[in-house]
Chains A and B, each alone.
Chain A
Amino acid sequence: QLQLQESGPGLVKASETLSLTCTVSGGSISSGSYYWGWIRQPPGKGLECIGSIYYSGNTYYNPSLKSRVTISVDTSKNQFSLKLSSVTAADTAVYYCARHRRVVAGTLNWFDPWGQGTLVTVSS
């Protein structure tokens, strides 16, 4: 079945760039029915959608993070990636990647399945 796995450094220094990769196995990232998304969860807090990308490269970003976020896709490797620049302690969180159901153009629906998540801590 489809599985997603996040990878990347667990510790990032303040003001630097957080970089994570999500590897998709058991299915193609080029499926027309899905976007591929990043979600984060600060310790003890709720879920925040960071953004999602289509295999063609079309992206949606959370307006509150848009100036610092870049999501890219590599269909040859069946991977997509997250870069978050100028990080601060507020960016410390568990970062999840997940498949994001696309209904019609511009309409996003549920996330499933999810990766196990990776904790990224921003240090000063």
Chain B
Amino acid sequence: QSALTQPGAVSGSPGQSITISCSGTSSDVGGYNYVSWYQQHPGKAPKLMIYDVSNRPSGISNRFSGSKSGNTASLTISGLQAEDEADYYCSSYTSSSTLPYVFGTGTKVTVL
């Protein structure tokens, strides 16, 4: 089961916008609208930020948005804040494994 590919690190200054990519295949990201994003602060459990490509759970700031084009999904954080500094993981349903779910490799977001 191959992990989805994310950049290792992304950084930005407060107030800026950043985008994290999540690259998969037609068997996962590209083939279905079941992409999710999680935020994880050090020592804490991951938190669901985006589901079904672009939907935000209740309570999640609208500064977080998701999209997809082909086999690549993206998470955009606008108006970057210090509290957004964390690790971010994408995930997707996959039809190519006996476990039909896969995480991305993770991206460390640093607020400069």
Contacts and interface: CB of A to CB of B under 8 A. Distances in A.
Contacts of B34: 103, 107, 109-110
Nearest to B94: A108
A107 B100 contact: yes
Interface of A: 39, 46-49, 51-52, 60-64, 66, 96, 100-101, 103, 106-117
Interface of B: 1, 3, 32, 34, 36, 38, 45-48, 51-52, 57, 89, 91, 93, 97-106
A110 B105 CA distance: 16
- Report which residue of B1, B46, B57 has the largest number of chain A beta carbons within 10 angstroms of its beta carbon: B46
B1 A62 contact: yes
A6 B98 CA distance: 25
Contacts of B3: 46
Given A47-B103, A66-B98, A109-B52, 11 more contacts: A46-B89, A47-B38, A52-B101, A60-B98, A61-B98, A63-B97, A96-B45, A106-B100, A109-B93, A111-B38, A115-B45
B46 A46 contact: no
B55 to A, nearest CB: 10
Given A103-B34, A111-B46, A116-B45, A46 B100 contact: no
A17 to B, nearest CB: 21
Contacts of A114: 45-47
A39 B101 CA distance: 11
B99 A60 contact: yes
Contacts of A115: 45
